[in-house]
């Protein structure tokens, strides 16, 4: 950044290059630098969340998504990533709630909306199967006591 180290777009562009090359640690460093310069940029926080999620840094992704939502409380786009991140962290119900909120809005590409719908269907089906297996186990236990 010799030309102007105070331009967040330069860091964002470098972060994008690193991201495409799957160098997530470097991409995150560039995007963090950009957010230090412009902490009010919704797009920068969303991009940082994407990079952190791709790297499997779920807690860092959540922090970036929280900041994006603080900047745009009515946005629904962050809930797409939030749904997948929460599921990855083991919070299935939180993931379902986030995906439902995303799909309730009008943001997102047709592809992201389709993926969210598919993930939501899978999660709900898994929950149904889990409840049915639990009921079957309870019924077997009752029959064994009789």
pLDDT per residue as tens digits for the range 20-42: 999 999 999 999 999 999 999 99
pLDDT of residue 77: 95
Give the domain ranges of the chain. Answer: 1-73, 74-146
DSSP for 98-116, written as a single string = HHHHHHHSS-S-HHHHHHH
The two tokens of residue 59 are 């807690």
Note whether 27 and 18 are within 8 A (CB). yes
Note whether 66 and 83 are within 8 A (CB). no
3 confidence band (pLDDT: 50, 70, 90): very low
19 versus 142: the higher-pLDDT residue is 19
At the top level of CATH, the class of 1-73 is mainly alpha
Query: What is the pTM (predicted TM-score) of this model?
Result: 0.82
d(CA 136, CA 138): 5
């Amino acid at each position: 950044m010799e030309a102007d180290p105070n331009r967040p777009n330069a860091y964002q562009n470098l972060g994008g290059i690193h991201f495409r090359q799957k160098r997530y640690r470097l991409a995150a460093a560039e995007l963090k630098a950009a957010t230090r310069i412009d902490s009010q940029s919704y797009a920068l926080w969303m991009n940082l969340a994407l990079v952190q999620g791709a790297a499997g840094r779920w807690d860092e992704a959540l922090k970036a998504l929280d900041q994006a939502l603080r900047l745009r409380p009515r946005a629904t786009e962050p809930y797409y990533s939030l749904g997948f991140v929460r599921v990855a962290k083991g919070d299935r119900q939180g993931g379902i709630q986030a995906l439902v909120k995303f799909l309730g809005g009008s943001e997102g590409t047709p592809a992201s909306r389709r993926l969210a719908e598919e993930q939501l269907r899978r999660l709900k089906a898994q929950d149904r199967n889990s409840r049915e297996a639990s009921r079957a186990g309870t019924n077997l236990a009752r029959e064994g006591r009789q």
